[in-house]
Amino acid sequence: MEAIDTLIDARWVVPVEPANVVLEEHSIAVRDGRIVAILPTAEALQRFSARAHRRLPGHALVPGLVNAHTHAAMTLMRGYADDVPLMTWLNEHIWPAEGRYVSREFVYDGGLLGMAEMLRGGVTCINDMYLFPEATARAAIKIGMRAVIGMPVIDFPSSYAQTFDEYIDKGLELHDEFQNHPLISTAFAPHGPHTVSTEGLERVRTLSDELELAVHIHVHETADEVEQVMQTHGVRPFDVLDRVGLISPSLIAVHMTQLTDAEIARLAEAGSHVVHCPESNLKLASGFCPTEKLRKAGVNLAIGTDGAASNNDLDMFGEMRTAALLAKGVAQDAAAMPAAAALEAATLGGARALGLSELIGSLVVGKYADITAVDLSGLESEPVYNPVSQLVYAGNRSQVSDVWVAGRHLVKDGKLTALDSETVLTKAREWRAKLLEETT
């Protein structure tokens, strides 16, 4: 028999690629962190001898979910400022708190808290944007999660950097430090066209071209942002990005709630990527991303949670369901964003946006074994006619039983295997006490 590291048997395997395929009574064989076979369980048992054999008779195996836009460390500000508009939320609550408290220690502790939540909810890869990105990278390595770490760029001083040049220099140091790491990659992360000058965006584009790195940026999040840029530049934020050459395959544009048909066509032409954050946009009343128009135009769509300070959870199952339902309401079409499309956006779509689709995002031989197991055998899920519909419309993160990243079993029976949850919770409560002390 052929020796492997792990054999996972499941009731269903949903590979995502090819699309609209569900494999029944199949197993996934893993060796050296990668998928080496996906085949009927009866055949797998005859062919392989595994050091670890996980039997999940009521489960669906899906690719590990990709949270394509988040601020993991902001989990420490979950519920800190709720039920206010975006600019009030930022100017009067979040940015002042960040100025007082955000440090390398804050980002590491908050990053662990956020990533622990996401990993238990089936997320295996994140695209993060925040200050002190090296601390987020080290938290991801600690927990074993895959991460694209944004190199922050903004025109304003912060506890992380005082000048634009300092942001760039520190980002390039981060890139050099982690460029060969198996779990960590980097992207430029300018905050937005309303907070980074045209000259700054031009420099980001030049460096992005030179280093072949993605540019992860908030764009057209609100009507107020669009109006603000119009007053400053005389054109919409989208046009600012296009003029400096950032509407390209390297662009990861987040939110995009204010789009014209011409802008959608330009995104499709350029091969840019859009990250939809439905629940954060709803909570902050930012607007509606026209996801069905984007999909029909051929724009790659990914899904993100945004940060827990504006969501207030990091639940990608919730985001999938909300994205699918919201798309139908906005398009006034019950067939918009079908369940399979929502699952693809939360997996392969995110991997494509991050430039990782050759490695993750679908269950394909040769790719890394980033796998999430979801128990569909409970009262809340049965009967199962279509496991993909069940995952998107009835599934929730509490049904995630097991998670593997590069074949490493990081969640088993719902419990983290590489991190002490109590230590993470203790740190979170200590930070809560500090922030409460300031506000009382």
Stronger pLDDT, 1 or 329, i.e. the higher one: 329
pLDDT in tens, 234-267: 999 999 999 999 999 999 999 999 999 999 999 9
Question: Is the bond leading into 18 cis (omega within 30 degrees of zero)?
Answer: yes
What region does 73 belong to: left with phi over 0, alpha with psi -120 to 50, or beta? alpha
Cβ-based neighbours of 421, under 8 Å, separated by 6 or more: 116, 415
What is the domain partition of the chain in residue ranges?
2-63+368-406, 65-353
Q: Are 217 and 252 in contact (CB under 8 A)?
A: yes
Model pLDDT for residues 84-100, shown as the tens digit of each residue? 877 787 788 888 888 88
Is this structure's pTM higher than 0.85?
yes
The CATH architecture to which 65-353 belongs is Alpha-Beta Barrel (3.20)
Fold of 2-63+368-406: Urease, subunit C; domain 1 (2.30.40)
Q: How many CB atoms lie within 10 A of CB 333?
A: 11
Q: What is the CA radius of gyration of the chain?
A: 21
Give the model confidence (pLDDT) of 49-73 as tens digits.
Answer: 999 999 999 999 999 999 999 999 9
